[in-house]
Structure 1
């Protein structure tokens, strides 16, 4: 699986996280919604399907945009104060929810990188369960950081340093783990073949 294809699914959420602030979250939601459409429309045209991340982003950011248009500033204050936390919670629920129902969200991207005959193999399933769990952990960590930042803690550390480091680690795992599993299977297959007795001549 190419790490870039997975990372693209996070772009709208990253855009929202970077742009959202006390007075800019509605523009951040609009920008994230546009990014989601830019990513989802080509996928729909090509595969007649979109990723669960894009589906969740379309709903979440569209709802935020509508709320910003129809509600007054005082009513929107709780959302304004916790916009980044809300987005982190939503994407965490999406990631672990996809894992709980047996449809890890990374499978959508992985299926575009490998032949269809491997989609049902144990290795393919294992790789995507692990990678989805890794990214779910990153999203959960980001949600915790957002919660701590809302309480007034060191905002640079919890808004930037920890989340960025976690994302970098997850990207590296996404690039490394599939190859690690493939190499382990190849080594296991080679050892099994080497242990078989030679065929007896007829």
Structure 2
């Protein structure tokens, strides 16, 4: 799934960043996001194909500045939740402006004649809604866990993995399901 490479900065941040040292995670996320944006633009990708990468560049630029200016910020332990708050805002925001973030990615995997169809838009709106809901659930769950049991590492990892893997699986399955239903 080509669109998942855009999540690389977020995934690397989740692996590197810890509550004690989030600076390296933020810096690494920023570098990866910038590399992806530059690489994709040089390859001729449109901005709507790079919503997640562009969003990552902005988020990690802000987080890098914050982590360097105030490394002991009270937000430090909530890094994993902040990531999901930002991603939820990106996904919900793309839906609010009627440009689901998956639309540009999906256009690269489909023929141009389907791009303007209401069904194509609806499929992408549903997929983006699933991602937005997963990011929201992750943000709330991680905030609660990090507040109540900040050292519950297994639970924190489980939340991160499930709230990424489930929408990724849905993203791969749903368009195929719609095509099969239409073929009947």
Q: 2:108 aligns with which of 103, 106, 112?
A: 112
Residue 49 (structure 1) aligned to one of 46, 49, 52? 46
Contact in 2 for aligned 1:95/1:133 (Cα 8 Å): yes
Which residue in the other structure is 1:100 paired with? 96
Aligned residue for 2:16? 19
Gaps of 5+ in 1: 188-202
Which residue in the other structure is 2:131 paired with?
Answer: 135
Q: CA distance change for structure 1 residues 119 and 161 in 2, over 3 Å: closer, same or farther?
A: same
State the structure with more CA Rg: 1
Equivalent pair of 1:145/1:158 in contact (CA under 8 Å)? no
RMSD: 1.8
Conserved 8 A contact 2:22-2:67: no
TM-score, structure 1 as length reference: 0.82
For 1:127 and 1:86, locate their aligned partners in 2 and report how far apart those are by CA, in whole Å.
Answer: 28
Q: In the alignment, which residue of structure 1 is the partner of 2:170?
A: 173
Whole-Å Cα distance in 1 between the matches of residues 120 and 2 of structure 2? 16
Gaps of 5+ in 2: none
Shift of 1:72: 4.4
Deviation at 1:22, TM superposition (A): 2.5
Alpha-carbon distance in 1 for matches of 2:83, 2:70: 21
2:67–2:73 CA contact under 8 A, matched in 1: no
Deviations 1:70-108 (A, max 9, x none): x244xx422322222211101111001101110000112
Q: Which secondary structure state, in structure 1, belongs to the residue aligned with residue 98 of structure 2? A: coil
Aligned-partner Cα distance in 2 for 1:132–1:19: 27
1:130-173 CA-to-partner distances (Å, cap 9, x unmatched) read 11011111111111121012213372353112331232222221
